[in-house]
């Protein structure tokens, strides 16, 4: 399972041909308590860098950008009633959407674990 990161603190974890997208633990720590999540529409076509979702915390609202080009194939509906899952489990239960990437090679343009650690240091 490969996980890559954007400089804007989104992650994409590949599970087979599906990319699971959310925000990193670093990002949720910066945002504070998350109180609302606006999920993308199923079937929505996204280009790399397009706004895909919005996460609102007690501090601010933050856009979530798509790390790759593709189609939204699933959204985490649990976040509509439990947005705090992003705080308690950002990389497991707190994922935001799943995407079918059009060009998996785009993943190579994202940060790996070491580069992301350096980016947030």
**Counting runs of H as helices and runs of E as strands, what totals does the chain give?**
4, 9
Residue-level pLDDT at 113: 95
* Three-class DSSP category at 1: coil
| Per-residue model confidence (pLDDT) at position 104 | 86
Token duo for residue 21: 């997208």
| Boundaries of every domain in the chain | 3-120
Q: Output the tens digit of pLDDT for each of the chain's 121 residues.
A: 689 999 999 999 999 999 999 999 999 999 999 999 999 999 999 999 999 999 999 999 999 999 999 999 999 999 999 999 999 999 999 999 999 999 989 999 999 999 999 999 9
| Architecture of the structural domain at 3-120 | Beta Barrel (2.40)
**pLDDT the model gives residue 26:** 97
Coil, strand or helix: which one is 88? helix
pTM above 0.85, yes or no: yes
Q: Which two tokens stand for residue 114?
A: 């070491």
Q: Residue length, the chain?
A: 121
Give all strands (DSSP E) within 6-69, no chain letters. Answer: 10-15, 18-23, 34-38, 45-46, 51-57, 61-65
Please check whether residue 44 is in contact with residue 72, taking contact to mean a CB–CB distance below 8 angstroms. Answer: yes
Which secondary-structure segment (H or E) carries 5? strand 3-5
pLDDT recorded at residue 57: 96
User: Which pLDDT belongs to residue 82?
Assistant: 98
């Amino acid at each position: 399972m490969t996980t890559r990161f954007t400089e804007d603190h989104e992650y994409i974890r590949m599970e087979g041909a599906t990319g699971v997208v959310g925000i990193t633990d670093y990002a949720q720590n910066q945002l504070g308590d998350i109180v609302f999540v606006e999920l993308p529409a199923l079937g929505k076509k996204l280009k790399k860098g397009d706004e895909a979702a919005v996460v609102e915390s007690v501090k601010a609202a933050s856009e979530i950008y798509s790390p790759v080009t593709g189609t939204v194939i699933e959204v985490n509906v649990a976040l509509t009633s439990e947005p705090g899952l992003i705080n308690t489990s950002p990389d497991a239960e707190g994922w935001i959407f799943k995407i079918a990437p059009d060009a998996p090679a785009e993943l190579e343009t994202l940060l790996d674990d070491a580069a992301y650690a350096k980016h947030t240091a």
